[in-house]
């Protein structure tokens, strides 16, 4: 399972964190407007995808990235 981070291509900059087994396909779905959470900020670009062989660890990392300190971590490192 991948945990991925998307960033808008146009200002203002927005980020989206999600999980998928195929982040490139999921990016296409986000850019096609198939997600109600991301369709108003299209187009998106994939800035990082991290593979986890354990779903529990992927879920934990995704939840962390959705916190305030996790968003700061993303902006600093990705």
Compute the distance between CA of residue 10 and CA of residue 51 in angstroms, rounded to an integer.
27
Taking the domains of the chain in order of start, what are their residue ranges?
2-71
CB within 8 Å of 49: residues ≥ 6 apart: 2, 3, 4, 5, 23
Question: Of all helices (H) and strands (E), which one includes residue 55?
Answer: helix 55-65
Question: For position 75, what pLDDT does the model report?
Answer: 87
What are the distances in angstroms from CA 33 to CA 39, 67, 71?
Answer: 5, 25, 23
6, 25 in Cβ contact below 8 A? no
Q: What is the pLDDT along the chain (78 residues), one digit of tens a residue?
A: 999 999 999 999 999 999 999 999 999 999 999 999 999 999 999 999 999 999 999 999 999 999 999 999 998 998
Q: What is the value of pTM for the model shown?
A: 0.93
6, 18 in Cβ contact below 8 A? yes
Question: For position 50, what pLDDT does the model report?
Answer: 97
Question: For position 65, what pLDDT does the model report?
Answer: 97
């Amino acid at each position: 399972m991948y945990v991925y981070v998307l960033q808008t291509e146009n200002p203002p900059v927005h980020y989206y964190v999600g999980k998928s087994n195929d982040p490139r396909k999921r990016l296409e779905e986000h850019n096609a407007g198939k997600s109600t959470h991301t369709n108003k900020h299209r187009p998106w670009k994939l800035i990082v995808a991290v593979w986890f062989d354990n779903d529990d660890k992927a879920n934990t990392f995704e939840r962390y990235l959705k916190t305030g300190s996790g968003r700061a971590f993303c902006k600093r490192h990705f």
